[in-house]
Amino acid sequence: MVGQHVKERLRRSRDRWRDPPLTVLTILLALLMFVIAPLHAAGITESQDLGLAVALIVIGILLFQSGISTAIIVMLVAFGLAATATLLRLQPHHSTLDLYLDASAWILIGLALSWVVARAVFAPGRITYHRIMGAILLYLAIGLTFVALYTFVGLLVPDAFSGMTVKDSAAFASTMVYFSFGTLTTAGSGDIAPLHPIARNLCNVQAMIGQLYPATLLAGLVTLE
């Protein structure tokens, strides 16, 4: 009986500390994508690696708190890929290998993060501010996952997009985020368009997710509440 009581207290303590990182990470990722990346593209800031490192640390904390061993292993692999890509960028002459590694890392991060955040957001219990922020975080994670997928397509097929060339440059991250979230929200201005069939199909899938996610989210949260 005492053991059960202790386990219940530990579970409640873990749940209480699981939700705040959702808000912290949502703010960090939003700043990284919509503030730091554009400033880096405009030449105002020299590097966005510091913001990326902070975001990765918070993601790691969130995944470790989840206790899901598979997500933790995936995150550690992603950390290794991202660190290797950063080291390659420090070399005076490097190929596109760093972009492949970064894209691989963000696909793994996006999938692991989406799984863990979805479990936290749609878990039984009271709907809190942090869980609402977690729903926004899940939306951002979907957009980042497609950034990585578009990067792969653009690297493998150089003419997959019109108005955008996938190459290592200061404006690359900002441009990819702009295109991905423009597609996700179906608010794209048309200055960048997919030409390759795979790129077009990815855009179709992302646009459908962008339309269905808010309705599914609202229905799920209302049902839980």
Question: Which one-letter amino acid corresponds to residue 52?
Answer: L
Residue with the bigger pLDDT between 26 and 5: it is 26
Q: What pLDDT is attached to residue 3?
A: 55
**Residue 96 CB partners (closer than 8 Å, separation 6+):** 155, 167, 168
Give tens-digit pLDDT for 113-161: 888 888 888 777 777 888 888 888 889 999 999 999 999 999 999 889 9
pLDDT in tens, 70-91: 777 888 888 888 888 878 877 7
- Write down the pLDDT at residue 63: 67
pLDDT value, residue 143: 93
